[in-house]
Structure 1
Amino acid sequence: MRTVEEPEVRTWDFPRGIASIAVMAAFAADHGVTADRVLAGTGLAGTALTASDLQVPAATELVVVRNLVRELAHVPALGVEVGRRYRLSTFGIFGFACVTSPTLREAISLALRYYHLGYGFCTPVVESSDGGVLARIHHELVPPDVVRFLVERDIVAMHRVMGDLLGHELAVSRIEFDFDAGDSAARLAEVLGAPPEFGRAQTVFTLDPAVLAQTLPQANAQTWSLCVAQCADLLQRRSARTGITAEVRELILPGGESAGIASPPTIEVVARELGTSPRTLRRRLTEAGTGYRALVDEVRCTLAEEMLIGTPLSIDDIAIRLGYAEATPFIHAFKRWTGTTPSAYRRSRVR
């Protein structure tokens, strides 16, 4: 029996968390390149790298990729080495859902279903049959100047994460690339466990089908169900705003400090960034069924919920990170947003 699984869309142009940029910045720092140089042209400050709840457009990560490739062009097999830095912990609740999956097959299906919660630029399409498991790596939409780096980074990151899921190194059966050999052939063979073939018709790698049925060491049905529900909720919230509201929301988020938005930009600043007037921006937001203050509150609510669930920060600390002088007005605002208090929300979600 043959099955084919793939993400809903094959574009890389979706918002993503800051964690992938943080991985690349840490790699650059290990090679003597400062965060300012890696983040040049993104509008992000170095403090954003620790803002675990921050979302950025894919184009922002692409700027970082180009900066990294330019700054570290002398590093052999750069895409491979950067890909090795991606671990399950890089993917937050998405990674935790994968690690608690019953089998590797279930984890791969989950990863494809919630592909937009990751950081990929290449899109895997997985074909399974009794004869083996083949992953076709589509990169037709990846810009040519960084395609080798991103193909190697994404494939090696997938391989590293699958090894983390299994609890041991995973060897691919075969790996082919649809571009010419570069300086990474030997390192790819060492990392993936098979000699790569270059100049082929497509980019693919294959796995032994027996590995898909293996029970994962940290499989836990109850935790898995909870994590999958949280992934669905997170994906829904990330995709809820489109058009002008998405553009405004993205401009609100990068202005934050640490994991919050203690100093959100004014509507005048946002309008200037969008090349329009505050009056026109207000009108467009009204037409979209919202307003600037409502979007600031929406961002604050989202960050508050994620900090309550995903961090040990106190209520006072979260309030300060969201721009409140003390906890009391934050508690009142959170109850207005959600119908419950921050403490009750945390107790209901964190077990």
Structure 2
Amino acid sequence: MASHSILGLTYIFNSLRKQGLDVSPLLQRYGLDLEHLAPDARIDRSLELRLICELAGELNQPSVGLSIGNGVGFAGYGPLSLLLLTCDTAQEVLYCGIRYQQLTYLFSEVSFQPGERVSALTLASLPLAEPARRMLIDMQMAGTYKLILDVQASLNMDLYAIQVDLPYPKPAEAQLYEQFYGCPVHFDASIARFWMRNEHLQLRLPSGDRSANALYRRQCDQLLLGLQQEQASGNSADQVRAHLSLFTAGFPTACEVAAALGFSERTLRHQLRSQGTSFRRILEELRFARARQLLESSQLSVEAIAGQLGYAESAAFIHAFQRWSDSTPALYRRQHQLGRAPELPRPCPV
């Protein structure tokens, strides 16, 4: 089981409550109560992501992710906070943040893009449906930038972004983003990233302390090892099913699902094999279940259903459906209307 500290979810809902938004109905649907959550508890990443997706659909506030990300407390990162403060340079802060990103509340993979004069910290967004995709991007970008500013404020440094790129169309409230980041914001970018001057990244931290840094690094390594052992002992197949069920128009790749669950793609595939299944098999099962549901309860054409399931051509979907059920989609629909649905699918090849 890949999990996050419950503090991440607590920050989200506390931020919304401060804005006067009632989030208790959503929490109650999942049997959660913020007032009675153990501060050291952990939540499955797929469940947390499901909550975020449902929340985005109910809020109808496009820029709410900015305020949520800005509400994440620096101390909430635990030993990682102290590790960052004891680094030698601002660039080392970024490298440590990337190495130990599993100890944060991020779902997206963070990486560093070096350049001659400017470099970028990038976040690869998950392929979620809107409005969840934009809200998650804003939450993670704002939260990451808040972390950078918190380090700067603690050390009286001059570390800031000179440009922010966001991978979605320019919204009506674009000016709010430039006010928040304090720099130009470019929309419709290929990836989310912060651009920083290299001279700023070479700034030395006045609190740099190699001995203390080694201590906090060992603590972070122990926490990281615990998470890796937790992931290795969990039921990856159930996590993959839960994550794929979040999508209503197409499905993410194995690499994208692995990143969302905190695995490498190789580790995820190995764990699925050890559990007697594969990413392809799980995806086929979900596609067949989604196809049956759409054929039975909607008037969508076979071509439209094929598109929702991620097939470029309806012929590929029809061929797959015949392999799953020994029936064409059209025949299945007619049989269902007559109360004679075909049998469940045979296991597909790994």
TM-score, normalization: structure 1? 0.60
2:39 to 46, 52, 61: 52
Counterpart position of 1:237:
226
Give distance in 2, aligned partners of 1:211 and 1:189. 20
Q: What fraction of aligned residue pairs are identical, expressed as a percent?
A: 18
Amino acid at match of 1:156: A
Structure 1 residue 115: deviation in Å? 1.1
Q: 1:183 and 1:54, CA in 2 relative to 1: closer, same or farther beyond 3 A?
A: farther
Counterpart position of 2:21:
33
Tell me the alpha carbon deviations over residues 222-242 of structure 1, each in whole angstroms, 9 at most, x when there is no partner: 221111100100111122134
Worse-matched range after superposition: 32-41 or 82-91: 32-41
Q: 1:203 and 1:33, CA in 2 relative to 1: closer, same or farther beyond 3 A?
A: closer
Q: 1:43 and 1:102, CA in 2 relative to 1: closer, same or farther beyond 3 A?
A: farther
Matches within 5 A, 1:1-351: 14-34=2-22, 36-49=24-37, 51-74=38-61, 77-167=63-153, 170-242=159-231, 245-246=233-234
Tell me the alpha carbon deviations over residues 171-224 of structure 1, each in whole angstroms, 9 at most, x when there is no partner: 311222221112441121012122212223333331011111112243322221
Larger Rg: 2
Q: 1:95 and 1:182, CA in 2 relative to 1: closer, same or farther beyond 3 A?
A: same
Amino acid at match of 1:112: I
Give distance in 2, aligned partners of 1:156 and 1:113. 19
The CA RMSD measured in Å over matched residues stands at 2.8
Question: Which ranges of structure 2 fall in alignment gaps of 5 or more residues?
Answer: 237-273, 276-350
Give distance in 2, aligned partners of 1:38 and 1:24. 13
Give distance in 2, aligned partners of 1:129 and 1:69. 35
Tell me the alpha carbon deviations over residues 232-261 of structure 1, each in whole angstroms, 9 at most, x when there is no partner: 001111221346x4359xxxxxxxxxxxxx
Amino acid at match of 1:246: G
Q: Contact conserved, 1:88 with 1:96, CA < 8 A, in 2? A: no
Give distance in 2, aligned partners of 1:170 and 1:157. 16
Alignment partner of 2:186: what SS?
coil
Q: 1:163 and 1:35, CA in 2 relative to 1: closer, same or farther beyond 3 A?
A: same
Worse-matched range after superposition: 20-29 or 168-177: 168-177
Q: 1:35 and 1:147, CA in 2 relative to 1: closer, same or farther beyond 3 A?
A: closer
Amino acid at match of 2:124: H
Structure 1 residue 153: deviation in Å? 1.3
Q: Contact conserved, 2:125 with 2:191, CA < 8 A, in 1? A: no
Give distance in 2, aligned partners of 1:127 and 1:221. 26
Give distance in 1, aligned partners of 2:187 and 2:147. 24
Q: Contact conserved, 2:2 with 2:230, CA < 8 A, in 1? A: no
Question: Which ranges of structure 1 fall in alignment gaps of 5 or more residues?
Answer: 1-12, 249-286, 289-351
TM-score, normalization: structure 2? 0.61
Q: 1:208 and 1:52, CA in 2 relative to 1: closer, same or farther beyond 3 A?
A: same
Give distance in 1, aligned partners of 2:202 and 2:136. 29
Counterpart position of 2:336:
none
Alignment partner of 1:129: what SS?
coil
Q: 1:193 and 1:233, CA in 2 relative to 1: closer, same or farther beyond 3 A?
A: same
